[in-house]
Amino acid sequence: MLKVILHKARNVPVLIFRLMLLCALSGHAAAEIIDEISLRTDAKGEIDAIIKFTVPVQYVRHFPVRKSLDLAIYFNIIGNVPRSVWQNYESYRSPPSGHILADHILGFTVTTRDLNTGPKIEVHFRHPAEFSVTAGNTDRSILLHIKPDTAQQKPAAALPPAPPQGVPAQLGGKDDLPFFPRIDKAAAETAASQPVEALTLAEQIKRANNQAAVMMAKGRDALLAGQMFAAIEAFNNVLNLPPNKYSPDAQVWIGIARERTGQIAKAKLEYELYLKLYPDGTEVRWVRERLVKLYRIQAAQPVAKPGAAAVQAKHTEFQTTTYGSLSMYYYHGASQTDTVVSIGGTQTPTTLSLTDQSSLISNVSMTARSYNNEFDNRLVFQDFYAASYLPGQKNRNRLNAAYYDVKNRILNYSARIGRQSAFGGGVLGRFDGLSAGYGFLPNWRANIAVGRMSDFVPESRPAFYSASLDFGVGDPLGGSVYAINQNAGSIPDRKATGGYLRYFEQGGTAMAMLDYDTQFKQLNMLTLQGTLHQESSTDYNFLLDRRKSPILSIRNAVTGTTATVDTLLQNGWTQDDLLMLAKSRTAISNLAMFGVTRRIQEKWQVGSDITVSNTSGMEASGTLIPDGTTGLEGYVPATASSGNAWTISGRASGSDVISMRDISMFSLSYSTSPFVKGKSLLLFYRSFMSELWTLDSSLRMYWQTDNSGGKVSTITPVLKVGYQIRNSLMLEAEGGVDRTRVTPAGLPSSNTIRKYSSFGFRLDF
């Protein structure tokens, strides 16, 4: 039914209404951190996977470095994002790219794993792949560039069976099209490393035929998948080679591909060039008849208005696909605390046992997509549900996404309606509403967004509208500027302007972001980040971040109270009063980080990071009455500045050290601040006991001393086992023990042992 809805536009409004109704009924719970994965595929079968996050992130490093079945990508979460937004086992399967061969070889799964060893995401490829990882072109994305390992490709499983010797490939021969030529298997090139000038004429012809065979196969696959522009690029690559056995056929089929994209004039030129170059070719009769039809069609058509060529494009068939994932995990946690208390001068041991967690957590992500050479339609649904089995605890539900998205490739516009995550325009967080964009010039795009923020209780969800202008969209150097107006109740909540400037290439990235609140007349945030990759196998990354904590908003004035902004206004507070109170309840956080990572041969990677951060103090605000009650505006006590907290860490990561595909990581860090000093050690090892079994083991140790002489020590061993029932279904179980010893200055110590476990499954479909 969903496929029919996508294919027939008349049913879209009904579905949108249902999605918006779901948005209105959803509750609150921890959010997913990954928003979506989108793909771009070129004619070579290589993929750019853009992993988009719901929070600002900074790419730090990845391991292994170049080629593997499994990949871990580490990043920093920028800003004051609580750990509660992170969900272990959140999983996304790569969406179809529209390229049959690429989808078979380069399919992958992205999973959030192991908060204690992160933040990180893990990528598992269907087949070994070569890859590179860089920061994305926004502060909420990471770019994963993937190309197949040709030694592992098995295209026969993804394509129709190869025809017998002499039988044409399964393309053409119907719909008034010629047969597509049979593609010979490429022969080994014994002189592949020699320059062309050093080859004999026979060797040069052999090389050209082999290269052309690969490109023709890619062009055929792109045609079968409806990817006409990829097909044009593939056939053009054949024609750019020295004359070869596939040159005549490539000349015909590039004309066919151009026809299907609506490039009628260019298609006629391609056909005329075929008649000129190959007057005795096997498809001369077909090409002449095709040209006659095209000239008749052109003569019968009225004169097109400027810009109407794109509208007259011949649409390809719509292709529809559905994909997603479902995970369900049961979590159980129980703790036992042993202390010694003094009762009447007698030391008496006491024990407290408590079950602190018993819940079933489910995550579902579903996408239905229908697309052709012009339109790309998507319906997306993501939901989180936690059922608690402890007395007094409520079940929690959160609808993370429910939207309809449409893109037009020819007219270059897009629109999305429903619950969605913001990706610019100064919008901070999820919202229910509409966002749209239009590319009106090469590398320029205008965007708007309007809606209501969803991450608040219903009575205080601010409404907003924003506009932004992107420039340098397809260039290495580009950026965006924006303005946003957001209201809380009857008065402005946030009024800001800002933007970002980014430089984005495979060898290095840099980004600067700024947000200035015109209502508070203060800088909201300023972020500088970048990465640099050197051929010497050394990578550098840095981050400078200064921002208000929380982000400036007039709603900060009601921190520490159950009152709303409108309630204070109704009781005599003015807008200026609320601005002053909000400022007094907003701190400033600063962070600076610099990291270095170096690869040692192919198996090892070492690195180090140094970080310094601080948060400003705040004066007491509000009214505290002597009887312990507060004024309507509540009371927030004064907080001291945190002072500078320094952390330096070193790490080493290895792969294929003990067994094939295993991953090892060792990390040691030291931190110091005016209040505490701490040391931590982390050991992590992942092994593949067999083709279907995985074993993850980790050991974390932490020692802390505060400025009064108190001590805390923690040791946490964790073991996780996974079993792959089939390609789409994974069973996992995890168990761990957290042993903590606390010795306050001058007081008896206490020991707490917390045992926790989880088990469940993840299904990709």
Length of the chain: 765
Query: The whole model's pTM is what?
Result: 0.71
| Dist CA 378 CA 653 (whole Å) | 39
H or E element, residue 514: strand 508-517
> What's the DSSP call for residue 691?
S
**What is the predicted pLDDT for the residue at 459?**
57
Beta bridge partners of 532: 508, 540
Q: In a 3-state reduction of DSSP, which class is residue 106?
A: helix
On whether the CB atoms of residues 658 and 651 are closer than 8 A, the answer is no
* Full 3-state SS string of 408-463: ECCCCEEEEEEEEECCCCCCCCEEEEEEEEEEEECCEEEEEEEEEECCCCHHHCCE
- The answer as to CATH 1.25.40.10 being correct for domain 159-300 is yes
Separation CA 55–CA 112 (nearest Å): 14
* Cα gap 593→544, rounded to integer Å: 7
Distances in Å between the Cα of 578 and the Cα atoms of 57, 406, 565, 581 are 32, 41, 8, 5
Residue with tokens 């015909």: 252
Which residue ranges make up each domain of the chain? 1-28+322-338+353-402, 31-158, 159-300, 656-765
Would you identify the CATH topology of the domain 31-158? Immunoglobulin-like (2.60.40)
Interstrand relation of 693-706 and 319-343 (parallel, antiparallel or unpaired): unpaired
Model pLDDT, residue 77: 81
Fold: same for 31-158 and 159-300: no
| Residues in the chain with pLDDT values less than 50 | 1-30, 43, 83-84, 100-101, 150-169, 188-193, 196, 300-313
* pLDDT for 297: 59
* For the chain, percent of residues with pLDDT exceeding 70: 81
**Tokens standing for residue 15:** 């579905």
